[in-house]
């Protein structure tokens, strides 16, 4: 069985996809077998690996609805040890299709239960729809990317309430691997104020690693490459390799606190 990690924050544009792609690549570079499951109809993780979006059932859509064996739709990436199940625009209809189904919260969990990778990283769409409830139910852990900007903490209380309610109902064992500060801008004092504030509230739940705002990171995704293949010496690449190391060290300890005050 794989360890399944959901990259989740209902806020858009906070670095979920960037972290999925780059953490996955860094873990693969360290020698882990990794599958990226692109559950966002936007398909940015798919194109982030230079892969065209899938169509119909031969994609994460078919996997989410339990209509296809995930192993039949796994694609290789050019990163050794790193595989992907691509997204398709059809996913945007999945919420409606799931809605009428009896086991609508656990479709994905059943579907991916037999995968055998070290890690499955799920790139979640923004929002709190049934796709994300399925992702939270199918996951062992979550990573919460948080952009270092003024409204960073807005909506976080709601996210924690959702996580707690998932724990109380469908996935008792769900734990938070960490909150990840992203797009940290050294030249902007607001970034350090937000970072200090988040650390004061969430303490050791926050990864020590901080992802800097680095133009190479967005350039890399426009070339369909993870940052470590685009510019391994960039600050962005170094920070994602550091994150992979810290993530693995957290695997050995239970960092999550079930009663975080916020």
Ligand X SMILES: Nc1ncnc2c1ncn2[C@@H]1O[C@H](COP(=O)(O)OP(=O)(O)OP(=O)(O)O)[C@@H](O)[C@H]1O
Q: CB of 212: closest distance to ligand X in angstroms?
A: 6
Calpha distance 146→134 (Å, rounded): 21
**CB contact at 8 A, 34 and 119:** yes
Residue with tokens 């139910």: 137
Instruction: State the Cα angle at 7 between 186 and 47, rounded to 5°.
Output: 85
Q: CB of 218: closest distance to ligand X in angstroms?
A: 3
Q: What are phi and psi of 50, to 5 degrees?
A: 70, 25
221 binds ligand X (CB under 6 A): yes
Which residues, numbered 4-33, are part of the site for Mg ion (CB under 5 A)? 16-17
Calpha distance 160→90 (Å, rounded): 29
Kindly give, in sequence order, each residue whose CB lies less than 8 Å from that of residue 38, ignoring residues fewer than 6 positions away. 44, 45, 46, 60, 84, 85, 86, 87, 123
Segment interacting with ligand X (CB under 6 A) among 9-17, 66-74, 87-95, 202-210:
9-17
* Identified binder of ligand X from the candidate list 2, 44, 134, 139, rule CB under 6 A: 44
16 binds ligand X (CB under 6 A): yes
> End-to-end CA distance of the chain, in Å?
34
Q: Based on CB atoms, which residue is closest to ligand X, 150 or 169?
A: 150
Q: CB of 43: closest distance to Mg ion in angstroms?
A: 9
158 binds ligand X (CB under 6 A): no
225 binds Mg ion (CB under 5 A): no
Binding site for ligand X (CB under 6 A): 12-18, 40, 42, 44, 126, 182-183, 211, 213-214, 217-218, 221, 236
Catalog residues that contact Mg ion under the rule CB under 5 A: 16-17, 44
């Amino acid at each position: 069985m794989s360890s399944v990690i959901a990259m989740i924050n209902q806020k858009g544009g906070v670095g979920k996809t960037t972290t999925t792609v780059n953490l996955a690549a860094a873990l693969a570079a360290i020698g882990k077998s990794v599958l990226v499951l692109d559950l966002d109809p936007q398909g940015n993780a798919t194109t982030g690996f230079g892969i065209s979006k899938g169509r119909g059932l031969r994609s994460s859509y078919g996997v989410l609805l339990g209509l296809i064996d995930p192993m039949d739709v796994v694609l290789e990436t050019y990163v050794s040890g790193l595989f992907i199940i691509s997204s398709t625009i059809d996913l945007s209809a999945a919420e409606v299709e799931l809605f009428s189904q009896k086991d609508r919260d656990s479709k994905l969990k059943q579907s991916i239960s037999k995968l055998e990778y070290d890690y499955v990283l799920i790139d979640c769409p923004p929002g709190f729809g049934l796709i994300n409830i399925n992702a939270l139910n199918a996951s062992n852990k979550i990573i919460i990317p948080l952009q270092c900007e003024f409204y960073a903490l807005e909506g976080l209380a709601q996210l924690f309430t959702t996580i707690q309610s998932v724990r109380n109902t469908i996935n008792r064992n769900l734990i938070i691997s960490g909150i990840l500060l992203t797009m940290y801008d050294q030249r902007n004092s607001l970034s350090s104020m937000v970072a200090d504030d988040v650390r004061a509230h969430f303490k050791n739940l926050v990864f020590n690693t901080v992802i800097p705002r680095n133009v190479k990171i967005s350039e890399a995704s426009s070339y369909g490459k993870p940052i470590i293949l685009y510019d391994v010496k960039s600050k962005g690449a170094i920070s994602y390799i550091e994150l992979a190391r810290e993530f693995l060290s957290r695997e050995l300890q239970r960092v999550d606190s079930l009663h975080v005050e916020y």
